């Protein structure tokens, strides 16, 4: 982040504007809209003492020499400066603004592309209703009362979410302020009689790694959660989409490293939900595809606790798409099977003879460390040693790596990935479709656009 976004109270404060023309006028109008008292200066007559006591200075003379002189005088007076179209001379920059009364959205590109900021402003303006300010005023009216009544932060957030998204919010947006107030008061009365906090767990798929591949529901729940219990494989870029004041707990399980046992994760999930928290159990990929989400649902059901399941883009789909591999293809592959490279002790093992069938694609999870075993089992089951294979490491992420070859060479290919100390999660694709990765351009391996 190049610039720290701040909202500065200018009501009753003096702001200096140097220059003439539309850009200077626009800055003066903007300052006045925030309640500032504007002092105009003619560039040739400006002195350092003219800036003393000002909260900010806007300079827009259109002439580099005049802009530089005025900027220097303002700096001498210790006043922060914005110079139109000259980012190098600025202490602060002006964002593109969407104004909905109490709700203000500022968009900045750090001065690199005002056109992009303007385009984004237009899209946001189209998405935000004009009456949004009325909704903010409604929430402000009841803020002290709600804070006094509801001590638990999680329950308080849930109340304000109901206010914003429920009947009260809809009435406020329609201009019915009296009806909106009645709806809030009714909810407050109901809340007074509710003594026990009700928590909930959301078992959420984080997708294969690219934060832009989160589902809309997953992104929404990350903003609602009191606590996020996340896998070790969930990247920081995905966690950054969560509420900043949420509690983050890494409960990852990585082979060969100290980690949480599944029973401990289940117990922690139950404990937090029973205590009234809104918990997101964030899993790489999809929670019901080799994610052990079913076991966590079993634990929550047994405890009589509320839960939801939010699917995610599983690794096979995300990694294959990112590497240009169609998992099925009309001419060469009519079936696809997801297989775990290593299974729990006593678990049912895959029927390798059936998996080795022609026209069948295998997507093998957690298989890099078991590449020798996977190769040998498929060869023993009758697979062609020349069958194409691909290994996709860190699929969909900027550091994605793809290796291609033949089934007989799978162990060597896997070693190229696993021997690196910073190796990430890998997916193995076995089948004729894996050859499509070799035909893709290297740039297509970098990330999903």
Q: Residue 78: pLDDT above 90?
A: yes
Measure the CA–CA gap between 369 and 375, rounded to whole angstroms: 12
Summarize pLDDT for 413-446 with one digit per residue, the tens. Answer: 988 887 766 678 899 999 999 999 955 444 333 3
Q: Is the pLDDT of residue 254 over 70?
A: no
The CATH number fitting domain 316-445, selected from 3.40.605.10, 3.30.950.10, 3.40.50.300, 3.40.190.10? 3.30.950.10
What 3-state class would DSSP assign to 54? coil
Give the pLDDT mean for 373-384.
91
Most confident of 92-101, 349-358, 413-422: 92-101
Per DSSP, the residues of 183-226 read HHHHHHHHHHT--S---EEEEEE-BSS-GGGS-HHHHHHHHH-S
Task: List the catalytic residues.
Answer: 231, 253
- Number of neighbouring beta carbons within 10 Å of residue 244: 6
Q: Pairing mode, if any, of strands 426-430 and 360-365?
A: antiparallel
CA distance 361 to 333: 6
pLDDT exceeds cutoff 70 at 194? no
What is the pLDDT of the chain when averaged over all its residues? 89
Domain positions in the chain are 14-94, 132-192, 200-312, 316-445
Report if pTM > 0.85.
Answer: no
Q: pLDDT value at position 345?
A: 45
CA dihedral (291, 206, 320, 336) positive or negative:
positive
pLDDT of residue 132: 92
Residue pair 429/361 in contact (Cβ under 8 Å)? The answer is yes
pLDDT tens string 296-313:
999 999 999 999 999 999
Instruction: Supply the CATH classification number for the domain 14-94.
Output: 3.40.50.720
Looking at domain 200-312, its CATH class is alpha beta
pLDDT digits (tens, 9 = 90+) for 333-346: 999 999 987 654 45
Question: Same CATH fold, 316-445 and 14-94?
Answer: no
């Amino acid at each position: 982040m190049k610039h720290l976004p701040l909202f500065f109270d200018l009501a009753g404060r003096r702001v200096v504007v140097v220059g003439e023309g539309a850009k200077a006028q626009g800055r003066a109008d903007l300052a006045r809209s925030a309640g500032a008292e504007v002092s105009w200066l003619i560039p040739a007559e400006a002195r350092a003492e003219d800036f003393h006591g000002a909260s900010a200075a806007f300079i827009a003379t259109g002439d580099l020499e005049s802009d530089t002189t005025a900027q220097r005088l303002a700096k001498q007076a210790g006043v922060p400066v914005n110079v139109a179209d000259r980012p190098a001379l600025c202490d602060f920059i002006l964002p593109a603004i969407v104004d909905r009364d109490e709700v203000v959205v500022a968009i900045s590109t750090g001065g690199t592309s005002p056109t992009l900021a303007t385009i984004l402003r237009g899209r946001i303006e189209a998405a935000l209703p004009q009456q949004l300010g009325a909704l903010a005023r409604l929430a402000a009216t009841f803020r002290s009362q709600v804070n006094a009544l509801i001590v638990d932060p999680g329950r308080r957030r849930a109340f304000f979410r109901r206010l914003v998204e429920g009947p009260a919010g809809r009435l406020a947006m329609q201009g019915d302020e009296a009806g909106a107030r009645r709806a809030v008061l009714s909810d407050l009365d109901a809340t007074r009689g509710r003594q026990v906090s009700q928590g909930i767990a959301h078992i959420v798929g984080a997708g294969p790694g690219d934060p832009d591949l989160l589902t809309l529901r997953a992104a929404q729940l990350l903003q609602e959660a009191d606590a996020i219990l996340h896998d070790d494989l969930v990247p920081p870029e995905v966690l950054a989409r969560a509420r900043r004041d949420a509690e983050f707990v890494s409960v990852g399980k990585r082979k060969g490293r100290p980690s949480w046992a599944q029973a401990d994760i289940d117990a922690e999930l139950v404990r937090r939900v029973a205590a009234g928290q809104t918990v997101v159990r964030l899993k790489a990929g999809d929670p019901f595809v080799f994610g052990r989400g079913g076991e966590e649902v079993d634990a929550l059901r047994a405890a009589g606790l509320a839960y939801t399941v939010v699917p995610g883009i599983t690794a096979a789909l995300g990694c294959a798409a990112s590497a240009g591999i169609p998992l099925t293809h009309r001419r060469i592959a009519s079936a696809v099977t997801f297989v775990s490279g290593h299974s729990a002790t006593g678990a049912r093992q895959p029927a390798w003879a059936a998996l080795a069938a022609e026209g069948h694609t295998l997507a093998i999870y957690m298989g890099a460390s078991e590449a020798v075993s996977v190769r040998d089992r498929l060869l023993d089951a009758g697979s062609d040693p020349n069958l194409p294979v691909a290994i996709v490491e860190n699929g969909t992420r900027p550091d994605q790596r793809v290796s291609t070859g033949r089934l007989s060479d799978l162990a060597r290919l896997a070693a190229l990935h696993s021997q690196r100390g910073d190796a990430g999660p890998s997916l193995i694709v076995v089948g004729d479709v894996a050859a499509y990765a070799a035909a893709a351009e290297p740039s297509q391996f970098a990330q999903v656009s």
